[in-house]
Amino acid sequence: MTPFFASRWITKPDHVTELPGSGLPQGFRAAGVACGIKPSGAQDLALLVSDVPETTSAARFTRSGVLGAPVLLTMERSDLEHIRAVVVNSGNANTATGGMGLDNAAKMQGSAAIAAGVGSERAVAVASTGVIGVQLPMYEVTRGIMAAAHELAADGDQAFAAAIQTTDAFEKRARLQVELPSGTVNLTAQCKGAGMIQPGFATLLVFVQTDAAMSPETCDLLLGVTVKRSFERISVDGQLSTSDTVILQASGASNITIGPETEDELRFGEALDALMRQLALLVAKDGEGARRTGRVVVHGGSQELVESVARAIANSPLVKTALYGGDPNWGRIAQAAGAATAGLAPVPLDIAIEGVTVCAHGAARPFDAAALTEAVQRDEVQYEVGLPGDGAETEVFFSDLGHEYVTINADYTT
């Protein structure tokens, strides 16, 4: 089995152990069923519940100005600090569906609250992913929620993960055991999203569970910090989904409590950080036929500038096609960096690819082109860019841009 932590860019902390197979942290059950939304007949309805009434949670959502009905509903009508159940459908994003779409999301929330036995619909988060502008088939969805409730199981995470996917080429799921000073806790996650944003929006959905106990504030702090360092650090095609949702739930069933500003919090945070970064990298890696993943590291004197330069490089179709082609064309890195530093010319750029300096202080440097060409044809390619000054640094992971992207996206609805 390929280990979950397979990238040279992400280090598994020593106190984290990968577990094989399936199985959720104590207190959680999940299921995934086929209810008939996807024409293929594949699994498309997923339900996950914590049986512990004291479960705490935190959530993050897309910042898009065009929101799917489930995102609007969950943001406004769920108690985000006490999410016990998550209901998800794939195959239909319930976006641009007007008032009926909101009603349908509310029906999903209510049905899931009853089916999962969590009492209040405010304890339920709803997520949908798939095509947009089409109303959900509510008879099938409701029946699917009931069917999923009957199949809820402590090892239902694999079925849950399958039922939230759309065009993902591989499963994105992890099971970790985390050794803390106060004891051992479990940490699992299921993620949906493909490296190039896919037809139907390639929503990013991430659900994370732990049996550690923590306050909603700790949940929120840990999720906020780790999302910033993971899912906010990937560039697929620079697009922003209408439905991105990330939820962390802590059942507390392990009886290990993570207090604020403790060694437990620090070490749990390290585990969560590695988990989230590796999942985010898997999203960047998963594009149908995507060949390579890039990582750009930019350092300099201004955090704002290193951030915008890193984004410009990671989103540049010229850089992405060069990555796809296994082409060490560093001029494109310079061009993208130039666009992000508009008005600041001349910027004395340093550029290195796979550790080889190709441009120093804005001028080309001789390098072994054959060796570098070979280096950029591996699965992961690293670019480093230096701007003037010190103290600020950032990274972005990104996928390449190839023929498969065009084929998939040019021919989706016709």
Residue 414 as a binder of a second copy (CB under 8 A): the answer is: yes
Cβ atoms within 10 Å of 177's Cβ, excluding its own: 15
Which DSSP string corresponds to 142-210?
A: HHHHHHHHHH-BTTTHHHHHHHT-SS-SS-EEEEEEEEETTEEEEEEEEEE--SSPPGGG---EEEEEE
Smallest separation, CB 407 to a second copy (Å): 8
Spell out where 264-349 has E strands.
293-300
Choose, by CB under 8 A, the member of 191, 322, 381, 385 that binds a second copy.
322
Handedness of CA 259, 223, 13, 157 (dihedral sign): positive
162-to-92, 147, 347 alpha-carbon distances in Å: 15, 16, 47
Residue 368 as a binder of a second copy (CB under 8 A): the answer is: no
Residue 339 as a binder of a second copy (CB under 8 A): the answer is: yes
Q: Would you say 32 or 200 has its CB closer to a second copy?
A: 200
Kindly identify the residues of this chain, within the stretch 243-302, that bind a second copy according to CB under 8 A.
none
Kindly identify the residues of this chain, within the stretch 169-188, that bind a second copy according to CB under 8 A.
none
Of 180, 211, 165, which Cα lies nearest the Cα of 46?
165
Residue 386 as a binder of a second copy (CB under 8 A): the answer is: no
Residue 166 as a binder of a second copy (CB under 8 A): the answer is: no
Residue 96 as a binder of a second copy (CB under 8 A): the answer is: yes
Residue 403 as a binder of a second copy (CB under 8 A): the answer is: yes
245-250 sheet: strands from edge to edge: 16-18, 172-180, 183-192, 205-210, 245-250, 56-61
Residue 409 as a binder of a second copy (CB under 8 A): the answer is: yes
Catalytic annotation present for 11: no
Q: Would you say 253 or 334 has its CB closer to a second copy?
A: 334
Choose, by CB under 8 A, the member of 338, 380, 392, 393 that binds a second copy.
338
Smallest separation, CB 157 to a second copy (Å): 29
- Alpha carbons 201 and 224: distance in angstroms, whole number: 23
Kindly identify the residues of this chain, within the stretch 2-61, that bind a second copy according to CB under 8 A.
none
- Alpha carbons 414 and 411: distance in angstroms, whole number: 6
Choose, by CB under 8 A, the member of 80, 174, 253, 347 that binds a second copy.
347
Candidates 33-41, 162-170, 221-229, 404-412: pick the segment binding a second copy (CB under 8 A): 404-412
**Which residues are known to be catalytic?**
203
